Amino acid sequence: MTERGEMATMAQVASFARTTTRFGDVIVTSPHPLLLLVARPESALLFAPAAVWDHGRDLLRPFVSRFAEGTALLVLVGRSRAPGGEAGLAQALEMGLASVLPEDPTETDVVLAGVRAFELLDVKVRAAATDLRASRYDYELDELIYIARAMTTERDVHKLLHLILEKSRFITGADAGSIYVVEGDESAPMLRFKLTQNDSLTFDSREFVMPMSTRSIAGSAATNKKPVNLADVYDLPPGSPFGFDKSFDRKIGYRTKSMLVVPLISQRDECIGVIQLINKKRDPRQKLETRADVDARVIPFDERSEELLGMVAAQAGASLEMAMLYDEIRKLFEGFVAASVEAIESRDPTTSGHSRRVADLTLGLAKTVDKESFGPYKDASFTREDLREIEYASLLHDFGKIGVREKVLVKAKKLYDERLELIRGRFDFVARSIEADVLTRKLHALERGAPTSVLDGLDGELVERRAELDARLDSVLGANEPTVLSAGDFARIEALARETYVDLRGDVQTLLTPDEVLALSIKRGSLTSEEYDEIRSHVSHTFKFLSQIPWGKAFRRVPMIAGAHHERLNGTGYPNGWRAEAIPVQSKMMSVSDIYDALTASDRPYKKAMPVERALDILGYEVRDGHLDGELVRIFKEARIWEMKRESVRVLA
């Protein structure tokens, strides 16, 4: 067939295509005299003479991509006469050949080939759409699984709320959104606005509270525990119980249009929050900067969006409930810790604030150690949970003092107050006895008519003996101070222990009892060895008491860390005599903080507050004596941990 004959044949095919109604609503065009395009909105047929396939395939090049996509098919008119025609035909089939018509096709040939080709295209389009939906569902399923995992592992309520809103917007293509949580009791529940997110605008927002009622869109979703889906909040459906406040849009220069609000339901079927999504976009990557952008790019939230958000909300409700429960437990723990610290310090007001200061110092040291890039602690790392564990242990490191007798705990002098009063009473009795003895003798002298010199001598004796007795009492009072006892002081106490007097029953008694002599003979401080052992026992009590608390896996080491803060690297510490390798690093850090605060704390009855530099020198001596970790003391000094702002190091709220 000549080219002119081929053109005539294609004109005849075009005529058949234009007149038939079997192809539906099509547009017939001739992109080339030898080509005929019969197009529907989503598919097309290209009719071409076989000669085009044999010798003019360049004419088909503009349509190759559509053939490959499956949105267009090729219909050849006449059989190929090129060498190896069968092989060429197979290639044409791979490209998108639907059928081959006779060289002089009838209308029936054209219509039949076209109908079958369009049916094949429809099948391909539906299959592609099905594949696309399947791929989309697979993608959405993967996202839902990821979101569920992320929500399940997040325990911080504030971070979880951000995560819930972010993923809800992502899965639905929402431009903006807000999240509320339910507060208050059942009689007067409230909705607290927690946070908002917006891809198109940046603005400041603050938390606020509003009644949970059907008068607001969020309140309606929360009260009825059902989603609210609105195509345009400026054009609410008739009879809607709620309204929309446009003032916020005017304030920030935004236009809220479509909105999807879904309640967060707990496992106890209680509404605990609300997700409010705003402005679903055709293309989530685009911003809504003008009113025209909103009109052109915002669409209503469809059923699939509502379904997806419902799935996210179901997981979010469970995760939020768990996080809130976790937060309640955390606050319960913190309340217990705070109450315990208050109970400890109420028994010994002179050390008030010590536990909190030790915790702050230890946290500051831990955070500094975490940043070390060289030395023995370059690999040390403390997570937020580790720091919380350190804070709990530090706050409760003296918890065991609750098991120490209060009079031992607050003993400021070597003698207890009541014991000192007994001694004073004893000395007063002896003074009265001396006075009675001298007065009796003076009376007898007067009866004998003794001269004035004798009477004056008795008066002098009374003054001298009273002065000696007062000097002895002063020795007792001096020895009672918690200072280092000199050899002379000790000798005077021993001498007093041998002095006697006669009581009212006529029995001979010593001025000082053996227990009083023992207490007054303490060479340093105010505690006897037995009392010191009792004070030291607070560490064992700490470990014992804290071990009975179900700390859970995250904080299981709290008892051991708190109970080891008096262990020393050389094994001379207590209660276990552990050496360096057995002592947790957290306890080593706490030991540094504990000693530093004990030295620099405000004046106490038994000691003066020590200057910082002097306290640092003593920490150095403790390192030299094998008590403290030298590297930790170095870091403590160089970072000047005591100058850190307390709020910057604390983990607990």
CB contact at 8 A, 247 and 291? no
- The Cα 183–Cα 172 span in angstroms is 27
Q: Do 26 and 94 sit in the same domain of this protein?
A: yes
Residue bearing tokens 């971070």: 159
- The Cα 50–Cα 103 span in angstroms is 9
Longest pairwise C-alpha distance within the chain: 178
Q: Are strands 500-502 and 27-32 parallel, antiparallel or unpaired?
A: unpaired
- Residues shown for the chain: 653
234 SS3 class: coil
What is the CB neighbour count within 10 angstroms for residue 8?
A: 13
- The Cα 23–Cα 3 span in angstroms is 27
pLDDT of residue 603: 56
Residue bearing tokens 């947790």: 584
Q: Do 492 and 541 sit in the same domain of this protein?
A: no
CATH code (residue 181)? 3.30.450.40
Q: Do 207 and 297 sit in the same domain of this protein?
A: yes
Domain presence at residue 539: yes
Q: Which residues neighbour 634 within 8 Å (Cβ) at sequence distance 6 or greater? A: none
Residues of the chain with pLDDT > 90: what percent? 44
524 SS3 class: coil
The DSSP code sequence of 170-214 is HHHTEEEEEEEEEES-TTS-EEEEEEEEESS-------EEEE-ST
pLDDT of residue 331: 84
pTM of model > 0.85: no
What is the CB neighbour count within 10 angstroms for residue 198?
A: 20
CB contact at 8 A, 563 and 546? yes
pLDDT of residue 588: 97
Domain presence at residue 295: yes
Q: Do 284 and 359 sit in the same domain of this protein?
A: no
- CA angle 568/571/577 to nearest 5° reads 95
- CA angle 25/28/31 to nearest 5° reads 145
What's the number of CA atoms in the CB half-sphere (13 Å) around residue 305?
A: 27
Query: pLDDT tens digits, residue range 536-594?
Result: 888 999 999 999 988 888 889 999 999 999 999 999 999 999 999 999 999 999 999 99
- Residue 570 carries which DSSP code? B
Domain presence at residue 134: no
CATH code (residue 42)? 3.40.50
DSSP bridge partners of 195: 179
Q: Do 458 and 366 sit in the same domain of this protein?
A: no
CB contact at 8 A, 323 and 351? no
Helix (H) or strand (E) holding 278: strand 271-281
pLDDT of residue 316: 79
CB contact at 8 A, 536 and 562? no
Q: Do 218 and 300 sit in the same domain of this protein?
A: yes
Nearest CA-CA partner of 48 in 19, 10, 81? 10
Domain presence at residue 121: yes
Domain presence at residue 117: yes
Report how far apart the first and last C-alpha atoms of the chain are (Å, whole number).
Answer: 91
- Residue 223 carries which DSSP code? H
Residue bearing tokens 């995250």: 554
Q: Do 190 and 234 sit in the same domain of this protein?
A: yes
- The Cα 169–Cα 81 span in angstroms is 60
Q: Do 172 and 311 sit in the same domain of this protein?
A: yes
Domain presence at residue 137: no
Burial code (b: 16+ CB inside 10 Å, e: under 16) for 323-332 equals: bbeebeebee
Residue bearing tokens 């603050």: 206
Q: Do 454 and 508 sit in the same domain of this protein?
A: yes
Report the domain count for the chain. 4
Helix%, strand%, coil% for the chain, nearest 5 = 55, 15, 30
CB contact at 8 A, 355 and 338? no
Q: Do 485 and 576 sit in the same domain of this protein?
A: no
Q: Residue 397 corresponds to which amino acid?
A: H
Residues of the chain with pLDDT under 70: 1, 82-89, 129-141, 144, 484-488, 603-607, 646-653
Q: Do 259 and 272 sit in the same domain of this protein?
A: yes
What are the CA-CA distances from residue 265 to residues 191, 226, 316, 320, 329 (Å)?
14, 10, 9, 9, 20
Domain presence at residue 207: yes
Q: Of 501, 526, 551, which residue is a domain's last?
A: 526
Quote the domain boundaries for residue 483.
417-526
Q: Of 491, 526, 561, which residue is a domain's last?
A: 526
Domain presence at residue 241: yes
Q: Are strands 44-49 and 259-265 parallel, antiparallel or unpaired?
A: unpaired
The full 3-state SS of 39-101, as one line of letters, equals ECCCCEEEEEEHHHHHHCHHHHHHHHHHHHHCCEEEEEECCCCCCCHHHHHHHHHHHCEEEEE
Q: Do 436 and 389 sit in the same domain of this protein?
A: no
